[in-house]
Amino acid sequence: MSPAPALTGSRHEPDELLLGFSRALRAAGVNVTMDRAQSFLAAVAVVGLDDQRATYWAGRATLCSSPDDLDRYDQVFAAWFATKDETGRRPAPQEPPPVTQASLEEHEGAGGDGEDDDPLRALASATEVLRHRDIGEMSPAEKARLALLFDQLRPRAPTRRARRRTTWHRGEIDAERTMRRMLARMGEPAELAWRRRAERPRRLVLLVDVSGSMSPYADALLRLAHRFVVSSDRRGAHGGLAPRVEVFTIGTRLTRVTRAMRLRDADRAIIAAGETVPDWSGGTRLGETLRIFLDRWGQRGMARGAVVVVFSDGWERGDTGLLKEQMRRLHSLAHRVVWVNPHVGKDGYQPVQQGIVAALAHVDDFVAGHSLATFAELIEVVADA
């Protein structure tokens, strides 16, 4: 079918024309729901269909819901109601997306020398050394020993203020409770009751980059994620709402591994996660996977008011403009965004990778994550978020 050239057509056409337009808009990626389309019809009925500019503004007010929608709306409107008169449209100034290439590796040399070959020292405080060693430089045997140490980590959930209040020994006066106590004594002043805002655990979302450049750390990071998930589950068993911890792997594809992470045993959880993740050690398209996360999960509520932790070194093969935009979205949804970069703690590290530079503006905490000791610090950052 072809879009009608004029706004006024035969009898039953207007509704079809307008609903067709809202469908076209939905196809273009604007989130047009049924009730929005209905509002659109009602709004056009108010301003009159013959006034094309008013129709334009009526649609923009009812069908769009964010500045991102406006460009798309302009394009679809122009295509759908194509007439000679195109005034009234004011397309937002479009800046060309900056085409940037990820800088080539230049910081590979950090570490490598100064290895711990001294058997005496290693024996003296093997665990303490292991705690501070860069996981990326460990041998498989050391990693196996380190895995046992993960049990020592005790993640705490970040909290938020709840709407309810609970009785407390100080704070604000609980007028209702005080009043009830007084009424029970025929209006005689009773002891004052106090209350404060209750606290609820915040949702925590962990996004773990498992692409090629992160592969030395992927195993350890998933173990850390497992600790977060398992300890939150245990807290739930004590009564009260379990703090929800969600784990996703990012990289070339977005995979939700929360279910696998629920397995009690860490090794089995990692294996189960490995089976669900199709892109171990692939190339990195951070911006793209973040966008998918936000579209599919984040915006619908998972990231809202949550503490979001991104584990990545910020190597971006794709468009960094996209990553920047997605980080902005994430930041505006989440309560706090923590970026964990395994290279931060190393000597001479500068956040120069295009991806990191793009993302840093929208990150609340930028912390290290290359050893067990730094993981413990991260746990504190998350708990206090």
- Which of 146/385 has CB closer to other proteins? 385
What is the total count of residues that contact other proteins (CB under 8 A)?
Answer: 39
The three-class DSSP label of residue 382 is helix
Residue type, position 243, single letter: P
Quick check: 322 and 288 in contact, CB under 8 A? yes
Question: In the complex, what is the shortest distance from the CB of residue 304 to other proteins, in angstroms, rounded to a whole number?
Answer: 6
- Which of 244/329 has CB closer to other proteins? 329
163 near other proteins (CB under 8 A): yes
Quick check: 317 and 213 in contact, CB under 8 A? no
Question: In the complex, what is the shortest distance from the CB of residue 344 to other proteins, in angstroms, rounded to a whole number?
Answer: 25
Interface with other proteins (CB under 8 A), residue from 6, 124, 175, 352:
175
Interface with other proteins (CB under 8 A), residue from 2, 12, 46, 347:
46
Interface with other proteins (CB under 8 A), residue from 62, 249, 354, 374:
62
88 near other proteins (CB under 8 A): yes
320 near other proteins (CB under 8 A): no
155 vs 44, 152, 158, 173, CA distance in Å?
A: 54, 10, 9, 34
61 near other proteins (CB under 8 A): yes
DSSP β-ladder status, 194-201 and 172-173: antiparallel
- Neighbouring CB atoms inside 10 A of 343's CB total 23
Query: How far, in Å, CA of 32 to CA of 35, rounded?
Result: 8
The three-class DSSP label of residue 200 is strand
Phi and psi at 51, nearest 5°, equal -95, 100
28 near other proteins (CB under 8 A): no
The three-class DSSP label of residue 84 is coil
- Which of 23/161 has CB closer to other proteins? 161
Angle at 254 between CA 253 and CA 256, to 5 degrees: 140
329 near other proteins (CB under 8 A): yes
Quick check: 7 and 50 in contact, CB under 8 A? yes
Query: How far, in Å, CA of 337 to CA of 110, rounded?
Result: 27
Question: In the complex, what is the shortest distance from the CB of residue 42 to other proteins, in angstroms, rounded to a whole number?
Answer: 6
129 near other proteins (CB under 8 A): no
- Neighbouring CB atoms inside 10 A of 125's CB total 10
Tokens of 272: 């189960």
Query: How far, in Å, CA of 284 to CA of 289, rounded?
Result: 9
Interface with other proteins (CB under 8 A), residue from 19, 24, 28, 70:
70
Interface with other proteins (CB under 8 A), residue from 173, 241, 352, 361:
173
166 near other proteins (CB under 8 A): no
Instruction: Write each residue from 259 to 298 as x if it is in contact with other proteins (CB under 8 A), else as -, in one continuous string.
Output: ----------------------------------------
Question: In the complex, what is the shortest distance from the CB of residue 156 to other proteins, in angstroms, rounded to a whole number?
Answer: 22
Query: How far, in Å, CA of 207 to CA of 189, rounded?
Result: 55
Question: In the complex, what is the shortest distance from the CB of residue 82 to other proteins, in angstroms, rounded to a whole number?
Answer: 20
Instruction: Write each residue from 181 to 220 as x if it is in contact with other proteins (CB under 8 A), else as -, in one continuous string.
Output: -xxx-xx---------x-----------------------
Tell me the Cα Rg of the chain.
Answer: 27
Exposed / middle / buried, residue 339 (Cβ in 10 Å: 0-12, 13-18, 19+): buried
Q: List interacting residues with other proteins (CB under 8 A).
A: 31, 33, 35-36, 39, 42-43, 46-47, 53-54, 57-58, 60-62, 64-67, 70, 88, 161, 163, 173, 175, 179, 182-184, 186-187, 197, 299, 304-305, 329, 332-333
